[in-house]
């Protein structure tokens, strides 16, 4: 597995937050995708990004927060969309883990990055920024039901 460091720009997104187990059906994705399609926001010009805001090893499953996001172009008229939330994702250095497997195994990618790769690298985790799960396919359209996700883990150069 080759991990590369990427510099990402700040990115504005529309999002829907869901609270509950990461392993239950994720209906907020369908709602976001419908909204995005109705507003002409689809790949390759826009990206769908998942943000798991809590570590399920530390936070009770029912309280885990997840944001389903779609990037929006500059100048997008947010005023006409009171049904949607908007925020800016932090830019900076991220370690890229290209993941391709079944969705329930994504947690293994996190365990590898935080448990093995980061401790052995010249970087440390930047806990002030969120991990970004950039969706590269639709698992329901994959012949094996796998998801292709570019997992971006925020890092900064180790200071000591």
Specify the pLDDT at position 34: 94
Task: Say whether pLDDT at 103 is over 90.
Answer: no
CA torsion, ordered 115, 126, 68, 7, to nearest 10 deg: -110
Q: Where are the domains of the chain?
A: 4-157
Task: Say whether pLDDT at 20 is over 80.
Answer: yes
157 exposed, middle or buried (CB, 10 Å; 0-12, 13-18, 19+)?
exposed
Through-space distance between the first and last CA atoms of the chain, rounded to whole angstroms: 26
145 exposed, middle or buried (CB, 10 Å; 0-12, 13-18, 19+)?
exposed
Please state, in angstroms and rounded to a whole number, the distance separating the CA atoms of residues 103 and 4. Answer: 22
The helix/strand/coil state of 149 is strand
Express each pLDDT in 50-77 by its tens digit. Answer: 999 988 888 998 999 999 999 999 999 9
Superfamily of domain 4-157: Regulatory factor, effector binding domain (3.20.80.10)
Only one residue has tokens 């890229």, namely: 96
Specify the pLDDT at position 19: 93
pTM summary value = 0.92
DSSP annotation of 3 reads -
Closest CA to 155 of 117, 107, 100: 117
């Amino acid at each position: 597995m080759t991990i590369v460091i990427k510099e990402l720009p700040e990115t504005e997104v529309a999002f829907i937050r869901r609270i509950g187990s990461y392993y239950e059906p994720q209906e907020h994705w369908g709602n976001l995708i419908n909204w995005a399609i109705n507003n002409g926001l689809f790949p390759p010009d826009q990206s769908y990004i998942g943000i798991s805001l809590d570590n399920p090893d530390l936070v009770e499953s029912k309280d885990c927060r997840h944001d389903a996001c779609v990037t929006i172009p500059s100048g997008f008229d947010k005023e006409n969309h009171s049904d949607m939330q908007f925020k800016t994702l932090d830019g900076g250095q991220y370690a890229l883990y290209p993941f391709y497997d079944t969705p329930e195994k994504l947690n293994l990618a996190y365990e590898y990055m935080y448990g093995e790769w980061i401790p052995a690298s010249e970087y440390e985790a930047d806990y002030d920024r969120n991990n970004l799960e950039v969706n590269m396919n639709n698992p329901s359209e994959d012949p094996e039901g796998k998801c292709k996700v570019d997992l971006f883990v925020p890092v900064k150069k180790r200071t000591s």
